[in-house]
Amino acid sequence: MSKLLTIRGKSFDWGSRTYIMGVLNVNPDSFSDGGKFATLDAAIAQAIQMVISGVDIIDIGGESTKPGAIPVDERTELERVIPVIERIRQHPEVQHIPISIDTTKSTVARSAIEAGADIVNDVSGGQFDDDMFTTVARLSVPYTMMHMRGTPATMQQLTDYDDVVGEIIAYFEMQIDRAVKAGIERAKIILDPGIGFAKQYQQSIEIIRHLDRFESLDLPLLVGVSRKSFIGKILDQPDPNRRLWGTAAACCAAIAGGADILRVHDVAEMVDVSRVADMMLRNRDSDKVSLHT
One of 110, 149, 188, 263 is an active-site residue; which one? Answer: 263
pLDDT over threshold 80, residue 289: no
pLDDT of residue 35: 61
**C-alpha dihedral (131, 78, 65, 198), degrees to nearest 10:** 0
Q: Which residue has the higher pLDDT, 206 or 284?
A: 206
How do residues 140-193 score in pLDDT, each as one tens digit?
Answer: 999 999 999 988 889 989 999 999 999 999 999 999 999 999 999 999 999 999
pLDDT over threshold 70, residue 232: yes
Per-chain mean pLDDT for the chain: 93
pLDDT over threshold 90, residue 287: no
Instruction: Give the domain ranges of the chain.
Output: 15-283
pLDDT of residue 119: 98
Written as one letter, the residue type at 88 is I
**C-alpha dihedral (221, 240, 85, 136), degrees to nearest 10:** 30
Q: Is 228 a catalytic residue?
A: yes
One of 80, 105, 227, 228 is an active-site residue; which one? Answer: 228
- Say which CATH topology domain 15-283 has: TIM Barrel (3.20.20)
How do residues 77-121 score in pLDDT, each as one tens digit?
Answer: 999 999 999 999 999 999 999 999 999 999 999 999 999 999 999
Percent of the chain predicted with pLDDT > 70:
93
pTM for this prediction: 0.93
- Number of neighbours of residue 90 by Cβ within 10 angstroms: 11
Alpha-carbon gap, residue 147 to 125, rounded angstroms:
6
pLDDT of residue 164: 98
Q: Is 233 a catalytic residue?
A: no
Q: Assess contact for 267 and 20: CB atoms under 8 A.
A: yes
Instruction: Count the alpha carbons within 13 Å of 224 in the hemisphere toward its beta carbon.
Output: 25
How do residues 15-58 score in pLDDT, each as one tens digit?
Answer: 999 999 999 999 875 555 556 777 999 999 999 999 999 999 99
